Amino acid sequence: MDQKGASAEGSGSGERLPPVRRAAFTAGRLEQVTPEGQMSRDRLLQAAAAAFMDKGFAATSIEDVARRLGATKGLVYHHYRSKNDLFFDVCRRGIEIDMAAVEPHAAARDRAVTRLARMAMAHVEAMLTRRDFQLAILEGVAIHLGKRIDEEDRATLAALVRARERYEALFGETLAAAIAEGDMDALLSPELSTAALLAVLNAPLSREALGGQEEQGDRSAFARTLTIFALRGAGASPAIIAEEFS
């Protein structure tokens, strides 16, 4: 991952997500989204994200998703043309979740190091609470980089990857601003510092590496500890950490 979902407007940052590729109906137009239909689709995306997390994209079938949802395959195909399109919408929803959590902090009028600390906390909490969607994004990036896929799929994944890169750029821009304001040391280049920061903040995606410790206590406390570790590694001094987390 070093490196929304009913529409293509994208986030407030200006990055556009690819259009949703949903099932076409006999009338020749896409399904009209009612509140009830959106609720059904939200449940479907939750079920799909969980299925993809358990078995991976390649091993997961539409039947697996339907079984987890407690529905038929027909209901899934009612919403999506294929497993690929369903997977892309799960990735899209994951990016929306991350943007909704982090972007308000990035846009705040606080000093940069304060914004960065709050962004990092929000990111870790999203990793912990919506891990299934986050792993889908990670797998989507891997598929885009290393697998033979058709032109339409590659274009869709490329747009999703660009949106994810724009999300990560929020951290890079804020970190660079914190260095410019004198609240963090430039231990590495801004690019390397951002990559290292995100690598630490993405640690909850590996339960094996964490030993499940995020489940042994309060998630906010765990997110706080991981954020402090990441900020210290990226060049925040003990004095800055004390100011931000006292």
pLDDT of 161: 87
The DSSP string of 88-115 is HHHHHHHHHHHHHHHHHHHTSSS-HHHH
More confident residue, 36 or 26: 36
Q: Is the dihedral of CA 184, 189, 191, 195 positive or negative?
A: negative
pLDDT in tens, 7-23: 334 444 455 676 666 66
Q: Is the pLDDT of residue 158 over 50?
A: yes
DSSP state of 203: G
Rg of the Cα atoms in the chain: 19
Asked if residue 132 lies in contact with residue 49, where contact means CB atoms within 8 angstroms, the answer is yes
More confident residue, 28 or 218: 218
3-class SS at 80? Answer: strand
Q: Is the pLDDT of residue 93 over 90?
A: yes
More confident residue, 157 or 194: 194
Phi and psi at residue 70, to the nearest 5°:
75, 40
Q: Is the pLDDT of residue 29 over 50?
A: no
What pTM, to 2 d.p., does this model score? 0.81
Tokens representing residue 20 in the block: 């949703």
| Mean pLDDT for the stretch of residues 184-199 | 90
Asked if residue 160 lies in contact with residue 84, where contact means CB atoms within 8 angstroms, the answer is no
Half-sphere exposure at residue 79, Cβ-oriented, CA atoms within 13 angstroms: 31
